[in-house]
Amino acid sequence: MGGQYFEKRPASKRRPAQISVTIRGYPFNFHTDSGVFSRDELDRGTELLLEAVEVGPWETILDLGCGYGVIGIVAARLTEGGHVILTDVNERAAALARANLAANGIRNAEVRIGDVYAPVDGMAFDHILCNPPIRAGRDVVDRIIAEAPSHLLDGGRFWLVARTRQGADTLRRRMTKAFGTADVVKRGSGFKVLRSVKPGA
Ligand SMILES: C[S@@+](CC[C@H](N)C(=O)[O-])C[C@H]1O[C@@H](n2cnc3c(N)ncnc32)[C@H](O)[C@@H]1O
């Protein structure tokens, strides 16, 4: 194996694979590979987040840390008429996410490469969706949470999934600090889906 899923340029030998799943009633097919998060099957936390998330038509959505693109691609399917930006620091993940947009016929989304919010500098969204890179370290996850309000429109929502045993309750406290409130909107299989709302709308 070798390498970590959050590296900019994974050096691990290519091992392409595919995952076929139905999510929220829609069929999807995802190309995956070594050197990206959850190559062999959909992460249970990702699944739980996608079961919980409520997005409407014509909304703007950021999938931060998109991996091979599951969250952003499902969100793009759910927000008919809206637009999704998927970002990741890992170039192999970003290339797979682009391929997966095409493979799933998604036209209302784009993939950008870069660190945390750098690819969407100055932009604000209706939703930010994130299965955060816990293994990349506290600094990265702290920045994702602390800078979220400035990348949301008034009334916009920040959705995050985390394992209870990997500090979901600590992350909830950080979200409360950044937004004023954070609710547990779903739990299961040892994960919690957390949601904060930016005041103002
Ligand atoms: C837990 S994975 C989730 C991947 C995907 N969203 C999913 O649910 O399968 C977190 C992702 O964050 C990315 N990541 C790590 N550090 C990052 C950073 N500084 N900026 C942006 N993305 C980062 C990793 O490369 C990885 O793809």
**Ligand 1 atom showing the smallest separation from residue 72 Cα:** 6
* 21-54 residue pLDDT tens: 999 999 999 999 878 888 788 999 999 999 999 9
Instruction: For ligand 1, say whether the CB of 67 is within 6 Å of any of its atoms.
Output: yes
The pLDDT of residue 72 is: 98
- Whole-model pTM? 0.96
* 171-191 residue pLDDT tens: 999 999 999 999 999 999 999
Residue from 4, 37, 44, 113 to probe ligand 1 pocket by mutation (most atoms less than 8 Å from CB) = 37
Instruction: For ligand 1, say whether the CB of 86 is within 6 Å of any of its atoms.
Output: no
**Homologous superfamily of 43-197 in CATH?**
Vaccinia Virus protein VP39 (3.40.50.150)
- Going from N- to C-terminal start, the domains of the chain cover 43-197
The pLDDT of residue 3 is: 61
CA 200 to centroid of ligand 1, rounded, Å = 29
Instruction: For ligand 1, say whether the CB of 144 is within 6 Å of any of its atoms.
Output: no
Residue of 30, 38, 50 whose CA lies nearest to 106: 30
The pLDDT of residue 162 is: 97
CA 171 to centroid of ligand 1, rounded, Å = 16
Instruction: For ligand 1, say whether the CB of 41 is within 6 Å of any of its atoms.
Output: no
CA 6 to centroid of ligand 1, rounded, Å = 6
Instruction: For ligand 1, say whether the CB of 197 is within 6 Å of any of its atoms.
Output: no
Output phi, psi for 106, to 5 deg. -90, 120
Instruction: For ligand 1, say whether the CB of 131 is within 6 Å of any of its atoms.
Output: yes
Burial environment of residue 162 by CB neighbours within 10 A (0 to 12, 13 to 18, 19 or more): buried
Which region among 31-40, 118-127, 130-139, 151-160 has the lowest average model confidence (pLDDT)?
Answer: 31-40
The answer, yes or no, to whether residue 4 has pLDDT greater than 80, is no
* 54-108 residue pLDDT tens: 999 999 999 999 999 999 999 999 999 999 999 999 999 999 999 999 999 999 9
Three-state secondary-structure class, residue 191: strand
Cβ 159 vs Cβ 127: under 8 Å: yes
**Ligand 1 atom showing the smallest separation from residue 7 Cα:** 25
CA 201 to centroid of ligand 1, rounded, Å = 29
Q: Residue 143: which residues within 8 A CB-CB, separation 6 or more?
A: 116, 117
> In the predicted model, what is the mean pLDDT of the chain?
94
